[in-house]
Structure 1
Amino acid sequence: MSQPSPKYSIDTPYSEDIPLQNLTYTPAKQTFDADDMSSADPESPAITAADLPEDPLLDQELRPLWHGPSAATDDPPTRFTGRASAWLEEIPDKFDRLVSFKGKLALLTGYLILWYLCIHSILFPYFMNPPLVDVAGTTPVRTLGCTDQFWHGKNGACGMDAQDCVPNPSQSDVFVRCPALCDRSWTYSLIPMGPERVKYRGYFIGGGDDLKSSSPAEHQLSNPYRADSFVCGAAVHAGVISPLTGGCARVSYKSGGQPRFESAKGHYGVDDSLGFNSFFPASFFFKVVSGSTHQCYDPRIPVLVMNIVLAVPIVYLASGMVAFWTINTVGFWTIVLATDPPVQVDSSDRETAASLISVGLERFLPSCFILYVLWRASTHQTLTAPENFKTSYLKRVLLFCPFFWLGVLNNISFDRLPVDRLTVADLKEQAGGAVAVGGIVLLITTCAIIQAYKIWKAGKFKKYLVIYVSFILGLVAVSMIPGLTLRVHHYILAMLLIPGCSTRGSTAIMFQGILLGLFLSGAARWGLAAIAETDTSLRRNDPSGKVLPPVITGFDVSSGILSWNNTINDAYDGISILVNDIERYVGTNVTGVNLKQLFKNSTELSNLIETSLGASADNSNIPLYIRIGKKIMGTKRYSDFSNAAVITWPEGHIDLPNPGNT
């Protein structure tokens, strides 16, 4: 039987019939040992390391650590796999396929116009229509900020006997409109109050809604507050207005003095009010607002909620670039117009609304340039998926949006921590400041380690190591400039950290969201403040220490002479003495004053002392708080004042002031 002829013979030209791509060669695994190599033919070529087969594991061990893994990975978040979530994940893809570019542009334009009209319909009436209260006719309402006072200033700012601060007696009842969030009406500069130095808390003295008087005034809602208290802060403390909506309050101003002001518990989680156990020449309390009110409630919460809700479809459906610019623009103007406006708008003065818009535009254009740089350097990598990669749009919404708005609302979130500025002096003055800073540093360090690992996996560690070493060296160089103090504002901190989040994972989306929000919060509310500031700017309105006050040395009860050391200064040729925080004496540069004679010559002061003595526990003694400073006669220019000396009156015992200035 004949054998079948082979399909291919040696004479068959394989180049014509055998496809070359089907011919593969798999080399046999070869091993080498020392004996093999030693017995090799000396004339044969030597085997080198380059001839050995590649070992990926060996290659990874030989790579420097900062180069990252041999196979870098940086994938966007994968999609949810549940039935409902998978259906939601497909919606943006279907929208992208079914709607043309022109259709998307038209939809986006119409959506943004509708968005603007909704916000305008809420904010425009609040900014432009003056608030009114229908009580005995239509009564105008005065617009105040959270830290506004009836008394303007401290130390000698109200002049002799507080004549520059006493309101018109014919306006005993005043209607005021307070904004939202006045539960945080803190003073960030030192305010002396009797023996205390008030800072980093609300400045309201006395009050409370538990009425102490046996015969309260008609419609009275609160006990008297000292007249220099923050009015809107006191209104929240008394429970008259809500910190969420603000509102209108009726304030009854009372001159003639109040013998003492007892500390009282506050509403809405506000700190207890300060107590003052001596007299003050004026006070105010709150009354019931009878009648209807118009344009009294602050719209910032509705505006905020509307912007949060309307931003979700943009982040969900739009491209990364459109989502980035839309949500950042909305976030910026939400801060300027609603949540933390840099200018207090008085609707009875329309120029204030124009000033607010002007300040916003002044800060918006440079902020847009910085946002463009951040987008090109980092954020586009995070919010834009690679081509043909099905990224998770739901995760972009769920991870980016909440953290972004958390950063935008910095005045409600992080500003409520007991940390004002990262300086040693400020941390010492705030209870719990060091603990809060420790927690913040731990959180930032943890996030930095997580993101550093992500950057390493993406093979970018070496590049960003160089970048951040440069940042650190630059900060060190700035901190060494004479006469300036390094201030890394939170908008600068965001700018420094965002480039390090230039990856595509879930953590980068969260970190970029909160950092972009913090950048906007700083740039919109405070402007692009300097990274290095002078000591004067950091001091705010605290004592300067440039011109020191005289030092009280004693009090002679028999003669009534209060004495101090003679510190002559050519420019400051006068002495100012404050009694219970009110200027009661101005004279040439002497070394003592007769308090008995001073009290006797002032009918108002004598009456206040007698009334306070009659209301004291044992009708025998009251404390008087005496502070002293220098003054240029004929002007309102003062030196720092001393801390308060405490004189038990009329017994005459004196506790000399502690070192320090006010």
Structure 2
Amino acid sequence: MAARDTPDRVVPETIDLEHGTKRDDNRDRVTPSGQSTELVAPHRQSRRTPPWTRKLGECTPAPVARWGRKVVEWVKGPKPPSRYTITPFLERWQTLPVRLLARLPEWERICIYAIACVVWIVTFAVVVSDGGLPSDIGGFGAPVKLSCVNNLWPSPESCGPDGRNCFPFSNASFAFNCPAGCSSAQVLNPRAIGPQVINYRSLVVGGAPGPENDALVYRGDSFICSAAIHAGVINDGYGGCGVVSLIGERDSFGAVTRHGISSIGFDSHFPMAFTFGQASAKCEDPRWNLLILSTIFTALFGIFTTSPVTFFAPIFTILFFQTGMASDPPSYSNYASLASTTLGRFLPAALAAALFYQFSVRKSLRNCKAQVEKTVLWVGGAWVGALGNYTFERIPIQRLTGNDIRQQPGAITALVIIVIILFAVVLYQAWCFRREGRLPRYLALYATLGLGLGILAAMPKLTLRIHHYIIALLLLPGTALQTRVSLLCQGLLVGLFVNGVARWNFDSILQTAAALRGDGQLGSGIPAILEPVINGSSITFAWESLLRGYQGVSVVVNDVERYRGSGGSDQGNFTWNRSDGGQDEYFRFGFISYQLFGSVAYSDFTRAGTWFSNGTWGGIPPGRT
């Protein structure tokens, strides 16, 4: 007979406060066999119906009341209720490991369990320490630990007029180290590169050989690690080390597709460019070696443990430290600081894990004899969720915000598919809860959660943000069943929780618009630029008004801020002199406001207008950047 999730009939019990608990089949669980149970039944005091309930019943039409009672009875489920248990495939073989282990004395089993935990901790620590960075690479000193999105020129605004905040532009070199997987790093908000506006793609500008030698030249605002993969200096799968050399201004940057990354072309001058040198030291990312180690140990704990707590505790811990220190770590300078960060996040995460273990995980794993299926479904699902930076990479949804979903290609379709799958799973889980007689309490729970989310969403000046770990916490109560679907979904949600907290910490469920926007567009006004006056090798732009709250206009030429007005006058102008007539140049304009303590605020900028090499002005396209 095929194995399936089997609902077992549960014999209802009568709760007798004086004489213990009885089943309806007259078997007393308290009174020993053979003793008399003929005692006086306790007096049951009838509950009085509240007046508002009687009035509501009198006002409700009979057909509505009749259908309402039927719905309530259906939601309560069958009587007696059923309890779902998993009947394993090939139960004899699935339980073989635990039966072999059960032949040992209890103290030996405890020792084996403790030794396994210690072996994983020691081996993990040794592999991490062996993956430390060298103290010197090619005479350039210790490598700088970079994230996948670090660059030398963050933006025209942050580098300031003429890029003075981002010196030096040339005659400087340094060693660096990149993690694995940086080929997938993308910009998540629209970004101007000359006349182009890119989004949801890697920021690598250039990569064609320079005119003087065969070195590949990249613009200074390129992601360093993505550019290093593009140049073939490091391996995307294992990361690595290299040397960056700043070579100053270059006049063009060709677009090339190499090693799975398509770079962006730019046909004008930029003050900072860099090339790569191959590092002689070995410094590969140890995440894959650690992943093999952690996967083996979680599989062993899954197969050889029967108690829910001895199964859950080590697997959750391994998942957390594997994610936080290897597979998807936050930005860090060295492993000591990373260990400190991971431990700081682990303690509150463990408290949350203890809570959802008590109310959800324990109920799914209790008395589960399907050792192999439990390992494949629960542990496998947990790894899928914890490695979300790899497993969900192809899903075109970066953040669950309305603006991101609208602007990212394919996000709406992906979200619809996810919602359909989630809806089908919810219907199945609701049916199972009804069969167990637990649907009313879970409907009440999720109604309360929905009301709470609605109140949070209505908070003024704040935006509801559903993070990875919040999705897990919301959906985990709905997996408190022993079915195969519950095991898979529960493992996946625990993995999502681990990935969210280990990588991003407990981010707030409510965030300001500025925090969600990041470096995205403000939606503010932009300057209205008059037709420029061209006089040979110079071009003059003028504007007649300033937006309220701003004191001047900022002018960006070829993605470098070249002018920052400060007079506060409604009228102003800017003249740019061309040093070389053989290239197009690109101009963008935005308002600027001077804040207290020396800070500066910018409005959105216009799209780039082109001053062609032949001296004609191409105009400013509609839109903003």
Query: TM-score with structure 2 length normalisation?
Result: 0.82
SS in 2 for 1:241: coil
Give the counterpart letter for 1:333 in structure 2: F
Per-residue deviation, residues 530-560 of structure 1 (Å, max 9, x unmatched):
22222121111224457x5533222122483
Deviation string for 1:603-626 (max 9, x for gaps)?
Answer: xxx2xx34xx1xxxxxxx624333
Instruction: Give, in whole Å, the separation in 2 of the partners of 1:588 and 1:650.
Output: 32
Cα distance in 1, alignment partners of residues 199 and 547 from structure 2: 31
Q: Secondary structure at the match of 1:562?
A: strand
Whole-angstrom CA distance in 2 between matches of 1:317 and 1:594: 75
Counterpart position of 1:264: 256
Does residue 1:553 correspond to 2:540, yes or no? Answer: no
- How far the C-alpha of 1:367 sits from its partner, in A, is 1.4
Do the aligned partners of residues 395 and 249 (structure 1) sit closer, same or farther apart at CA in structure 2, a change above 3 Å counting?
A: same
Q: Is the 8 A contact 2:140 2:174 kept in 1?
A: no
**1:494, distance to aligned residue in structure 2 (A):** 1.0
Map of 1:10 onto structure 2: none
Partners of 1:92 and 1:491 lie apart in 2 by: 33
Alpha carbons 2:388, 2:496 under 8 Å: kept: yes
> Shift of the alpha carbon at 1:457?
2.3
For the pair 1:518 / 2:522, whether they are aligned, the reply is no
1:231 offset after TM fit, Å?
0.6
Deviates more, 1:197-206 or 1:312-321: 197-206
Is the CA contact (8 Å cut-off) linking 2:169 and 2:273 kept in structure 1? no
Q: C-alpha displacement at 1:381, in angstroms?
A: 1.0
CA RMSD in angstroms comes to 2.7
Is the 1:555–1:654 Cα contact (8 Å) retained in structure 2?
A: no
Match of 2:14 in 1: none
Letter matched to residue 252 of structure 2: R
Taking the aligned partners of 1:509 and 1:638, their CA distance within structure 2 comes to 50
1:145 counterpart (128, 144, 147) = 147
**Alpha carbons of 1:527 and 1:303: their partners in 2 closer, same or farther (altered >3 Å)?**
same
| 1:39-68 superposed Cα distances (whole Å, 9 cap, x missing partner) | xxxxxxxxxxxxxxxxxxxxxx99921122
Q: 1:466 to 1:273 in 2, by over 3 A?
A: same
**What is the CA distance between 1:190 and its match in structure 2?**
4.0
Residue type of the partner of 2:75?
A: W
Instruction: Report the CA distance shift for 1:251/1:593 in structure 2 as closer, same or farther (over 3 A).
Output: same
Deviation at residue 498 of structure 1 after TM alignment = 1.0
Q: Could you tell me whether the CA contact under 8 Å between 2:557 and 2:585 is conserved in 1? A: no
| Aligned equivalents of 1:492, 1:504: Cα separation in 2 | 23
Determine the structure 1 residue equivalent to 2:116: 111
Amino acid at match of 2:528: V
Which residue number corresponds to residue 617 of structure 1? none
CA contact (8 A) 1:76 1:391 kept: no
Q: Residues 198, 566 of structure 1: CA spacing in aligned structure 2 closer, same or farther, 3 A cutoff?
A: same
Distance 1:474 1:636, change over 3 A: closer
Distance in 1 (alpha carbons) for counterparts of 2:230 and 2:376: 37
Q: What is the DSSP-based 3-state SS (H/G/I as helix, E as strand, rest coil) of the residue aligned with 2:271?
A: strand
Tell me the CA shift for residue 123 of structure 1: 0.8
Name the structure 2 match of 1:273.
263
2:82 aligned with 1:73: yes
Which residue of the partner structure matches residue 586 of structure 2?
624
Query: Counterparts of 1:258 and 1:629 in 2: how far apart (Å)?
Result: 29
- Classify the secondary structure of the residue corresponding to 1:375: helix
Match of 2:92, as an amino acid? A
Distance in 1, Cα, partners of 2:104 & 2:523: 68
Q: For residues 181-212 of structure 1, what are the alpha-carbon distances to aligned partners after superposition, in whole Å with 9 as ceiling and x for unaligned?
A: 1012222344332233333221111215xx47
Once residues 332 and 627 of structure 1 are traced to their aligned partners in structure 2, the CA distance between those partners, rounded to angstroms, is 46
Q: Paired residue for 1:159?
A: 160
Residues 357-396 of structure 1: pairs in structure 2 closer than 5 A: 357-385=339-367, 391-396=369-374
The alpha-carbon distance between structure 1 residues 263 and 170, as it changes in their structure 2 partners (threshold 3 A), is closer
Which residue pairs with 2:218 in the alignment?
Answer: 225
Number of residue pairs the alignment of both structures matches: 551
Match of 1:566 among 545, 550, 553: 545
1:130 alignment partner, one of 124, 134, 146: 134
- Paired residue for 1:293, among 275, 281, 291? 281
**Structure 1 unaligned spans of 5+:** 1-20, 22-60, 348-352, 601-605, 614-620
TM-score normalised to the size of structure 1? 0.77
In the superposition, relative to structure 1, how do residues 343 and 101 fare at CA in structure 2: closer, same or farther (>3 Å)? farther
Question: Does the aligned pair in 1 maintain the 2:229–2:236 contact within 8 Å?
Answer: yes
Matched, 1:247 2:240: yes
Q: Label 1:551 to 1:110 Cα distance change in 2 as closer, same or farther (>3 A).
A: same
Partner Cα distance (2:135, 2:237) in 1? 18
Q: Secondary structure at the match of 1:164?
A: helix
SS of corresponding position for 2:82: coil
Cα shift readout 1:329-358 (whole Å, capped 9, x = no counterpart): 1111111111111232x34xxxxx443333
* Residue 241 to residue 464, structure 1, CA distance change in 2 (3 Å): same
1:138, distance to aligned residue in structure 2 (A): 7.4
Is 1:540 matched with 2:532?
no
Matched with 1:505 is 483
SS of residue matched to 1:653: coil
Instruction: Say which SS state the counterpart of residue 341 (structure 1) adopts.
Output: coil
Whether 2:331 is the aligned partner of 1:343: answer: yes
- Structure-2 residue corresponding to 1:405: 383
* Corresponding residue of 2:53: none
Counterpart-to-counterpart distance in 1, 2:206 and 2:171: 24
1:307 maps onto 2:294 in alignment = yes
Which deviates the most, 450-459 or 432-441? Answer: 450-459
* Runs of 5+ unmatched residues, structure 2: 1-33, 35-69
Identity %: 28
8 A Cα contact 2:320 2:498, kept in partner: yes
Residue 446 (structure 2) aligns with: 468
**Do the aligned partners of 2:156 and 2:559 also contact (CA within 8 Å) in 1?**
yes
2:108 and 2:500 mapped to 1: Cα distance?
A: 36
The residue number in structure 1 matching 2:93 is 87
Specify the code of the residue in structure 1 equivalent to 2:610: V
Once the 2 structures are TM-superposed, how far is the Cα of residue 239 of structure 1 from its aligned partner? Answer: 3.2
In structure 2, the CA distance between the partners of 1:587 and 1:535, relative to structure 1 (3 Å rule), is closer
What is the letter of the counterpart of residue 98 of structure 2? P
Residue 168 of structure 1 deviates from its aligned partner by 6.5
Other-structure match for 2:200? 200
Partner of 1:9: none
Q: 1:645 to 1:384 in 2, by over 3 A?
A: same
